[in-house]
Amino acid sequence: MAVVTPRAGEEHRIRNRNPKIKFSEDYPLQWHRTIPEFACACNAVSLLMPHVEPFVVRSVERVADRLDDDVRPAALAFARQERQHHSQHRRFNDRVYAAHPGLAWIDRLMAATFRVLDRRSDEFGVAFSAGAETIAYAGARWTDDRIGLLFDDAEPTARRLFLWHLAEEVEHKGAAHDVWESFSGNRFKYVLGTMTSVLVLAFFAFIGTLGLLWTQRKLFSPRAHMNLFIWSCTYIFEFMPLAVISALPGHHPNDLTDPVYLPTWLKIEVDHEL
Ligand SMILES: [Fe+2]
Ligand SMILES: [Fe+2]
């Protein structure tokens, strides 16, 4: 079943939700009963969110008044979703850093990196954001294909945080592309922005995962590294075709067929409570 979201110019369906996720003071950072390395990888991604997502929000909001009128409403709704994502992740990350203050250097390095990226042009910012959204959308598709394997044994609060975030990444998959197309449309800058985004996000996800494996005494676990290697390879197979077609003229993310589980989960588990 294809779930189609509107293009620029059509009424958008990007909703602002507060999924009311609460982590107790003693919430276990190891929230996966059977695949602890998966929790480490997800937690590493979570540590990145209060850096990359505010950068995306700043990049979009900075150019908002220079966008086409039919793009601006979805762009601002998209920025509101991203703001909600990173504020929820920040609350979880506070627990991570409180439990493992030795990881705070990763946070400082990420902050310094995004301060440097902030000095680049507005055009770079929107291209980076469009690339980051392709990465996120590929992550949602990759997860959707393995949802039971990855999340059946996850603690419900962490499960809710990651599924809600990924489902909204599906919902706003076309918004950053429209911002880039409306503001710039320069394909070379788009490729450059996407490549920078891939390098920055992959680097921090990698060192964050290693740091978290170390806190869980799993740094030298062959099984953990085997699983992480398999997940990385399969994710690359998901991401690469999307990255290539995203750079082609005439492509729009809304032409892609969405995964089914995440949007359905969002409707049943979050929307009906709001
Ligand atoms: Fe997000
Ligand atoms: Fe996003």
Give the pLDDT band of residue 18 (cuts 50, 70, 90): confident
Give the pLDDT band of residue 274 (cuts 50, 70, 90): low
Residues 6+ apart with CB under 8 A from 219: 210, 213
Angstrom distance (rounded) from CA 173 to CA 7: 10
Asked if the model's pLDDT at residue 1 lies above 50, the reply is no
Structure tokens at 63: 């150019």
Per-residue model confidence as pLDDT tens digits over 221-272: 999 999 999 999 999 999 999 999 998 988 899 889 899 999 999 999 998 8
Give the pLDDT band of residue 6 (cuts 50, 70, 90): low
Q: How far is the CA of 221 from the centre of ligand 2 (A)?
A: 32
Q: Give the side-chain half-sphere CA count within 13 A for 111.
A: 5
Asked if the model's pLDDT at residue 13 lies above 90, the reply is no
Type of residue numbered 119: R
Ligand number with the minimum distance to the CA of 87:
1
Ligand number with the minimum distance to the CA of 83:
1
pLDDT at 42: 98
pLDDT at 26: 87
Listed range (8-12, 46-50, 51-55, 143-147) with the worst mean pLDDT:
8-12
Ligand number with the minimum distance to the CA of 171:
2
User: Averaged over 37-42, what is the pLDDT?
Assistant: 97
Q: How far is the CA of 172 from the centre of ligand 2 (A)?
A: 7
Q: How far is the CA of 149 from the centre of ligand 1 (A)?
A: 23
Q: How far is the CA of 60 from the centre of ligand 2 (A)?
A: 12
Q: How far is the CA of 179 from the centre of ligand 1 (A)?
A: 16
Residues with CB under 5 A from ligand 1 (ion): 82, 85
pTM of the model: 0.93
Ligand number with the minimum distance to the CA of 82:
1
In contact, 106 and 208? CB cutoff 8 Å:
yes
Ligand number with the minimum distance to the CA of 137:
2
In DSSP notation, 227-264 reads HHHHHHHHHHHHHHHHHHHHTSTT--GGGSPPPSHHHH
Asked if the model's pLDDT at residue 3 lies above 80, the reply is no
Angstrom distance (rounded) from CA 40 to CA 30: 7
Q: How far is the CA of 156 from the centre of ligand 1 (A)?
A: 19
C-alpha closest to that of 189 among 244, 127, 242: 127
Per-residue model confidence as pLDDT tens digits over 165-220: 999 999 999 999 999 999 999 999 999 999 999 999 999 999 999 999 999 999 99
Q: Give the side-chain half-sphere CA count within 13 A for 268.
A: 7
Q: How far is the CA of 31 from the centre of ligand 2 (A)?
A: 24
Q: How far is the CA of 177 from the centre of ligand 1 (A)?
A: 14
Per-residue model confidence as pLDDT tens digits over 126-178: 999 999 999 999 999 999 999 999 999 999 999 999 999 999 999 999 999 99
Q: How far is the CA of 195 from the centre of ligand 1 (A)?
A: 19
pLDDT at 250: 87
Structure tokens at 27: 């919430």
